Amino acid sequence: QVQLVESGGGSVQAGGSLRISCSISGNTAKYYCMAWFRQAPGKAREGVASLENIGNPVYKDSVKGRFTISEDKAKNTLNLQMDRLKPDDTAVYYCAAKTDALCLNWYLDEPAKFPHWGQGTQVTVSS
């Protein structure tokens, strides 16, 4: 079983930056796909970025050029650096994982493809 725990959320003004992290533990496989999703009040959960074990980050257009997904393998941590934040980025951000090698771009549109989820961390961007 994989356990995911997010941290690092908070409040920031528009144009600012935040870095959120996801600590990964449990029975992790050698090959996997990790992702960040977010959910704003009254809206569906949407994909933000994904990263497979061998790299190859994928970003949704709404965050491309502003967000960076990365992994610290030594610390078993997935990170999301968020720069030039906008009020529309306000949401609960969730870390998600699937422990197999398949990590297709369109999986960011399919939260159900990810069986493992963290509890979420709130990010609030004020104008």
What string of pLDDT tens digits covers the 127 residues of the chain? 889 999 999 999 999 999 999 999 886 666 689 999 999 999 999 999 999 888 889 999 999 999 999 999 888 899 999 999 999 999 999 999 998 778 888 899 999 999 999 999 999 999 9
Which residue(s) pair with 17 in the sheet?
Answer: none
CB 2 within 8 A of CB 24: yes
According to the model, what pLDDT value does residue 62 have?
96
Query: Which long-range CB contacts under 8 A does 64-70 form with residues at least 24 apart?
Result: 69/34, 69/36
Query: What one-character DSSP code corresponds to residue 68?
Result: E
Which residue(s) pair with 21 in the sheet?
Answer: 7, 79
According to the model, what pLDDT value does residue 109 have?
92
Q: Match 């959120």 to its residue by tokens.
A: 20
